[in-house]
A = this chain, B = another copy of it.
Amino acid sequence: MKYFEYMGKSLFKEYGIPVPDGAVAETPDEAAEITKKLGSAVIKSQVLTGGRGKAGGVKFADSPEEAGKAAEELLGQEIKGYKVERVLVEEKLNIEKELYLAITIDSTKKSPVLIASTKGGMDIEEVPEEYIVKKNIDVLTGMEPFVIREIVSELGFDFKAETSKQFMKIVSKLYQAFRALDAELMEINPLVIADGQVIAADAKVTIDDCARYRQKDLPYVEEKTVIEKKAAELGLAYVELEGDIAVMANGAGMSMATLDILQYYGGKPANFLDAGGGAGSETMARAIELLLEKKPRVIFINIFGGITRCDDVANAITQVLGQQKIEIPVVIRLVGTNEEEGRRILEAQSLSAYNLMHEAAQKAVELARK
C-alpha cells in the first residue's frame, strides 16, 4: 500500500526524522491559512505517482493569496491519471544540497537494502553508479552503528560535520521505521541540507499489504477501483483491464498465462483475477459475481486444481448459475485436484468443462467475437 507524501512525512515525524513545517490542505482557503504561519510556501500535489514536479504539480507562493491561488490550480487537476485531492503546504527550504536516501527490499540478497547518494533530487537510476552507496542490512541484527559509519564513509562525508551526525541519526530512524512498520519502501528524495539542518523534503512510503493485520494503527489508502476493492475483501487479487472476456484463473502465473493465451488468439481480457490460494466455493461464487459486474461478453474460468479443489470451483459455478440467470456464455476449463468430482457436479447441471487450456481459450475468444 502506497502512502501519500503527507502521510509518509507524518510517519517520519513520529520516528524522529525531521520534515519541513507544513500541513495538508483540501481547499484553497486551507492552503492560504497554513501559509499565513509559514510566510512563503511550497504547494505540492498529493498523488500516488512520481514525476509530479515535471508535470506541474508543485507550485511556490510568497503570500497566503498566492498559496490559495496555487492550491486552486492544483486541486482537482489530474497528474498522470491521478486526481489531486489534497495539497501539502510546506515552508520553503533554503536548500544547500540534495541527497538521496532509501531503504527497500532486495529480493536477490533477501534482505533490506539501503541506497544513498550525494546526488539526490533526480531519478536514482540516472545517477552514475559511483555516486551510489548500496548497503544490504542484516535483518537479524539491523542497522548497527558500524553499518551507518560505513555508509557515511562510503559517501565520503566528513565524520565530524554536524550534518553527518544528523544524517546518521536519520539513517538509524528510517531503518527503525522501515522495520517497525513492515515497509516495502521508504524513500527520501531529496533529503536536503538546508540552513545546516538535514531534512526529509519528500517521502515515499509503501507498506506491505500482507502485514496489515499487525499494523492496525497505520492509515489505509484506497488505490483500488470498486471491483478491485470488493475482490480484495474476498482476499483475491483483481486488476481491471479493458477487454470483454472476464477471466478467473487460479495462481498468479496461471492467471497471467491465461491472459497471454487469450490475447495470443486475438481475445481481449476484461480483468485479471487470481482465485488461487485455496479459496472455498463460497468465495469463488462471490468472485464469479464480481466478474459479471463489468458486463463482459464471455466468462472464462481456467482452473488447474492444486490447493484449489475442482469440486469447490464446480460448486461455486453451479451456485451462481442456480441463483441468477446469466445471459452470457461461460467457458470452463477444469483439471487437477478432485477433478472427477468437479466434473460430476458440473455435469449434474448440464455443464461441461474443457481439458486443454488452449482449446478452452480459443472457444472463449470465438464466443466473444459473436
Contact = CB atoms under 8 A, between A and B. Distances in A.
A141 interface: yes
Interface string A126-158: 000000000000001100000000000000000
A141 B141 CA distance: 9
Contacts of A141: 140
Q: Tell me if A's interface is mostly helix, strand, loop or mixed.
A: loop
A141 B142 CA distance: 12
A273 to B, nearest CB: 35
Interface residues of A, number: 2
Nearest to A141: B140
A272 to B, nearest CB: 36
A113 to B, nearest CB: 20
A137 to B, nearest CB: 14
A82 to B, nearest CB: 42
Nearest to A140: B140
A140 B141 CA distance: 7
Contacts of A140: 140-141
A81 B141 CA distance: 45
Interface string A250-287: 00000000000000000000000000000000000000
A140 B140 CA distance: 7
A337 to B, nearest CB: 30
A290 to B, nearest CB: 37
A140 B142 CA distance: 11
Interface in A98-140: 140
Nearest to A138: B140
A147 to B, nearest CB: 16
A264 to B, nearest CB: 48
2 contacts: A140-B140, A140-B141
Enumerate the 2 nearest inter-chain pairs by beta-carbon distance, A residue then B residue, closest first: A140-B140, A140-B141
